[in-house]
Structure 1
Amino acid sequence: MRQLVRNAILAVLRSRAWKATSQRIRGTREFTLTAREFADSAAPDAKALVYFGDTHSKLYQLQQWLPVLEELNRAVPTAVFLRRPSSIQETADCTSLPIVFRQSFDDMMTYVEEHQPKLILYVNNGQSNFQVLSFAPAVHVHINHGESDKLSMVSNQAKAYDAVFTAGPAALRRHQRALVDFDESKLIEVGRPQLDLDYEPELPASDKRTIMYAPTWEGENDNNNYTSVDCFGPAIVAAALATPNTRLVYKPHPRVAGSHDEGMQGGHAMILELIEKANAGGGEHLVLTDGNILAMFEDVDLMITDISSVGLDFLYLKADSPLLLTDRRTNREKLIDESPIASSVPIIDDSTVNGLQTMIETELASGGNAEARAEARALYFGSHGVGESKQAFISTVERLIAEREAQNIDQAYMVSAAEASEDNS
Structure 2
Amino acid sequence: MIELEIMKVKWSVKMKEWLGQQLKSAITSKPGVRSRRWLGLGPAPVANQEMDHIPVPGEVIVYFSDVLNKAYQLEQWLPTLERLHEHHGVVLVFRKVPTLRHFRKLTKLPKIYVRRLDDLVNLYDFNDFTLCLYVNNGMANFQSLSASRLVHVHINHGESDKLSMVSNQAKAYDKVFVAGPAAIARHNAVLMDFDLDRLVAVGRPQLDLDFETPLPPFTGRTIMYAPTWEGENDANNYTSMDLFGEQIIRALVALPNTRVIYKPHPRVVTSKNHAVAEAHLKICEVLDESNSSGAQHVVAETENILALFEGVDALFTDVSSVGLDFLYLHPERPLVLTDRRDDLSALNSEAPVSKACPVINEPSREAMLSDVTALLAATSTESRRKMRSYYFGDRSKGESTRAFLSTIDSLIGNRRGQLEKYGFHANAADSADDEQ
TM-score w.r.t. structure 2 length? Answer: 0.85
- The Cα offsets for residues 65-117 of structure 1, whole Å up to 9 and x where unpaired, read as 11110011111111111011110111111111110111111111111111121
What are the equivalent positions in structure 2 for 1:202-351 lying under 5 Å apart? 202-351=214-363
For 2:103, the aligned partner's letter is T
Partner of 2:60: 48
CA distance in 2, matches of 1:42, 1:390: 33
SS of the residue aligned with 2:86? Answer: helix
CA distance in 2, matches of 1:70, 1:200: 20
SS of the residue aligned with 1:296? Answer: helix
Alpha-carbon offset, residue 346 of structure 1: 0.6
CA distance in 1, matches of 2:131, 2:4: 30
What are the equivalent positions in structure 2 for 1:7-406 lying under 5 Å apart? 32=40, 34=42, 35=44, 44-364=56-376, 366=377, 368-406=379-417
8 Å CA contact retained: 1:219, 1:225: yes
8 Å CA contact retained: 1:256, 1:264: yes
Alpha-carbon offset, residue 351 of structure 1: 2.1
Greater mean alpha carbon deviation, residues 84-93 or residues 366-375: 366-375
For residues 258 and 413 of structure 1, do their structure 2 counterparts lie closer, same or farther at Cα, with a shift above 3 Å needed? closer
For 2:323, the aligned partner's letter is G
8 Å CA contact retained: 2:5, 2:111: no
For 2:134, the aligned partner's letter is Y
- The Cα offsets for residues 21-66 of structure 1, whole Å up to 9 and x where unpaired, read as 999999x999636435699999832100110001111111111111
CA distance in 1, matches of 2:398, 2:232: 34
- The Cα offsets for residues 269-306 of structure 1, whole Å up to 9 and x where unpaired, read as 21111111111111100101102111111110000100
CA distance in 2, matches of 1:273, 1:406: 60
SS of the residue aligned with 1:231? Answer: helix
8 Å CA contact retained: 1:45, 1:77: yes
8 Å CA contact retained: 1:168, 1:190: yes
CA distance in 1, matches of 2:75, 2:178: 18
For residues 112 and 359 of structure 1, do their structure 2 counterparts lie closer, same or farther at Cα, with a shift above 3 Å needed? farther
For 2:308, the aligned partner's letter is M
- The Cα offsets for residues 361-394 of structure 1, whole Å up to 9 and x where unpaired, read as 1255x48410110111011001222211011001
Greater mean alpha carbon deviation, residues 301-310 or residues 262-271: 262-271
CA distance in 1, matches of 2:86, 2:6: 22
Alpha-carbon offset, residue 200 of structure 1: 2.9
CA distance in 1, matches of 2:3, 2:327: 45
For 2:395, the aligned partner's letter is H
State the superposition RMSD in angstroms.
2.5
Partner of 1:7: none
CA distance in 2, matches of 1:202, 1:92: 23
SS of the residue aligned with 1:255? Answer: helix
Greater mean alpha carbon deviation, residues 242-251 or residues 352-361: 352-361
For 2:71, the aligned partner's letter is L
Partner of 2:434: none
CA distance in 2, matches of 1:373, 1:42: 52
CA distance in 1, matches of 2:166, 2:97: 29
CA distance in 2, matches of 1:413, 1:100: 25
- The Cα offsets for residues 196-233 of structure 1, whole Å up to 9 and x where unpaired, read as 01223222222221101000000011110000000000
Alpha-carbon offset, residue 155 of structure 1: 1.0
SS of the residue aligned with 2:283? Answer: helix
For residues 359 and 369 of structure 1, do their structure 2 counterparts lie closer, same or farther at Cα, with a shift above 3 Å needed? farther
CA distance in 2, matches of 1:78, 1:23: 11
CA distance in 1, matches of 2:143, 2:297: 46
Partner of 1:8: none
CA distance in 2, matches of 1:359, 1:387: 38
Q: What percent identity do the matched residue pairs reach?
A: 46
8 Å CA contact retained: 1:42, 1:100: no
Segments of structure 1 that go 5 or more residues without pairing to the other structure are 1-17, 415-425
For 1:84, the aligned partner's letter is K
CA distance in 2, matches of 1:88, 1:79: 12
For residues 368 and 149 of structure 1, do their structure 2 counterparts lie closer, same or farther at Cα, with a shift above 3 Å needed? same
- The Cα offsets for residues 239-293 of structure 1, whole Å up to 9 and x where unpaired, read as 0101111100000000001111111122112111111111111110010110211
8 Å CA contact retained: 1:72, 1:394: yes
- Report the count of equivalent residues: 393
Segments of structure 2 that go 5 or more residues without pairing to the other structure are 8-15, 24-38, 426-436
What are the equivalent positions in structure 2 for 1:404-415 lying under 5 Å apart? 404-412=415-423
For residues 115 and 247 of structure 1, do their structure 2 counterparts lie closer, same or farther at Cα, with a shift above 3 Å needed? same
For residues 392 and 25 of structure 1, do their structure 2 counterparts lie closer, same or farther at Cα, with a shift above 3 Å needed? closer
